[in-house]
Amino acid sequence: MKVLLIGSGGREHALAWKIAQSPLLDQLYAAPGNPGIAEHATLVELNVEDHAAVIAFAKEKAIDFVVVGPEAPLVAGLADDLRAAGIATFGPSKAAAQLEGSKGFTKDLCARYDIPTGAYQRFKSAEPAKQYVREQGAPIVIKADGLAAGKGVTVAMSEAEALAAIDDCFDGAFGAAGAEVVVEAFLDGEEASFFCLSDGKTALALATAQDHKRVGDGDTGPNTGGMGAYSPAPVMTPAMVERTMKEIIEPTISGMAKDGNPFSGVFFAGLMITAKGPELIEYNVRFGDPECQVLMMRLKSDLLPILYATATGTLDKVQAEWRDDAALTVVLASKGYPGAYQKNTPIAHVPTASEEAKVFHAGTALKDGKLVATGGRVLNVTAFGKNVTEAQARAYALADRVEWANGFCRRDIGWQAIAREKA
Ligand code: AMP
Ligand code: GLY
């Protein structure tokens, strides 16, 4: 099989690494890819926003299967256009990608199909939103409706903070994504991420993970795209996974199909495990980054036939096997991230992988043959262990061998799980 992978982050490096191990693979291309992905794939300079160019490339190279990593091309309808051109594609249609592209869309779906989530209202202007906040009181959550790179959410502990967040959204802090606002009840509990594939009819549960969104140790400071993650998430017991499938995932699959938007791809469900059970915080319609890195480390099965079955409606024919080990990833980011940071700083040394640990590339590039950091999140040092404590020790041992003066990482990824393991 000839495969084209779309994307350039740590998530796509992990996907490329796994796909490259498949005996079914003849050739892997990645657009645009990064120097880590280049170890497994031929990189192609394609403008992913130019769907006709992607299709022309796929035809020219006789690509059998396209795997779309990030959300933006999905929300822009790349999967629809590829499928219309007769090319099998992993990733939901533009209509189904609204599950990630519009928080209001997802909340309305939950309301229609009795999927547990926080009570909410949608607003197109500030005054009625503020009125609702005053009625409900704090804590309360304010969300820009559209894609805001994980930054459009304010968990407001006071009414004043909530009112300010509403003004920020409507004043354009998140651009067009903030033209509509969802105000949502605060859910109290422990968060977890759940990954599950769907071909539109059948569901295949993958695995669970927990990430660290805040930039600083102890989960402090501003939100980021994710500073580290581990899998499995201890709060997601088999009973909780079963409830999540029954109460959240299955009604989503049947509801989306009923509404004429069958979902094919991966559900990345952000959950709050409350006293009542699992409640949906949000859906993403692609693998998490860096959650994907820990999932791919733990996946024993060949990834390629699983993704292909998802895209071609044969998910009932495949299974996914997982290592029992925990996997943990630490994100090395450019100093200053998630604020302004220097670009093109030199990375003098990236240690080679071992049996238990591996470094995935995210925002890296080669400049004059030398590796440099071009993004906010740059390297993902990922390791196994018999538990999170051991995986963490291995990941930091490897991270400390990276030579990159402008890099930093959190030192406490996995702390909740490790506290549990010590208890
Ligand atoms: P999201 O971008 O929707 O994942 O939200 C970012 C983060 O905000 C989540 O990971 C939660 O930590 C928090 N959050 C979002 N919605 C709620 C909610 N209804 N109650 C409590 N926390 C929330
Ligand atoms: N790590 C969170 C995300 O991929 O959205």
- Each residue's pLDDT, cut to its tens digit, for the chain (423 residues) gives 999 999 999 999 999 999 999 999 999 999 999 999 999 999 999 999 999 999 999 999 999 999 999 999 999 999 999 999 999 999 999 999 999 988 999 999 999 999 999 999 889 999 999 999 999 999 999 998 888 776 788 999 999 999 999 999 888 888 787 788 989 999 999 999 999 999 999 999 999 999 999 999 999 998 899 999 999 999 999 999 999 999 999 999 999 999 999 999 999 999 999 999 999 999 999 999 999 999 999 999 999 999 999 999 999 999 999 999 999 999 999 999 999 999 999 999 999 888 789 999 999 999 999 999 999 999 999 999 999 999 999 999 999 999 999 999 999 999 999 999 998
Q: Tell me how far the alpha carbon of residue 5 lies from the centroid of ligand 1, in angstroms.
A: 30
Residue ID of nearest Cα to ligand 2 atom 5: 288
CATH architecture of 326-422: Alpha-Beta Complex (3.90)
Whether the CB of 77 sits within 6 Å of ligand 1: no
Residue 69: name the closest of 132, 119, 17 by CA.
17
φ/ψ (deg, to 5) at 131: -60, -45
Beta-ladder partners of 360: 380
Whether the CB of 150 sits within 6 Å of ligand 2: yes
Residue ID of nearest Cα to ligand 1 atom 13: 155
Collapsed DSSP state (helix, strand, coil) of residue 308: helix
Alpha helix (H) ranges present in 178-322?
238-244, 250-258, 291-298, 303-312
Residue 62's CB is within 10 A of a number of other CB atoms, namely 9
Q: Which helix (DSSP H) or strand (DSSP E) does residue 52 occupy?
A: helix 51-60
Measured from the Cα of 292, ligand 2's closest atom is 4
CATH architecture of 190-317: 2-Layer Sandwich (3.30)
Whether the CB of 282 sits within 6 Å of ligand 2: no
- pLDDT at site 276: 95
- pLDDT at site 177: 79
Q: Tell me how far the alpha carbon of residue 292 lies from the centroid of ligand 2, in angstroms.
A: 9
φ/ψ (deg, to 5) at 211: -115, 175
User: Strand runs (DSSP E) across 15-54, as ranges?
Assistant: 27-32, 42-43
Domain positions in the chain = 2-93, 125-179, 190-317, 326-422
The 8-class DSSP code of residue 365 comes to: E
Residue 258's CB is within 10 A of a number of other CB atoms, namely 12
Q: Tell me how far the alpha carbon of residue 54 lies from the centroid of ligand 1, in angstroms.
A: 35
- pLDDT at site 150: 67
Q: Do domains 2-93 and 125-179 have the same CATH topology?
A: no
Q: Tell me how far the alpha carbon of residue 287 lies from the centroid of ligand 2, in angstroms.
A: 8
What dotted CATH number matches 125-179? 3.30.1490.20
Whether the CB of 187 sits within 6 Å of ligand 1: yes
Distance CA 215, CA 113 (A): 36
- The domain over range 2-93 is classified in CATH as 1.25.40.80: no
- pLDDT at site 232: 97
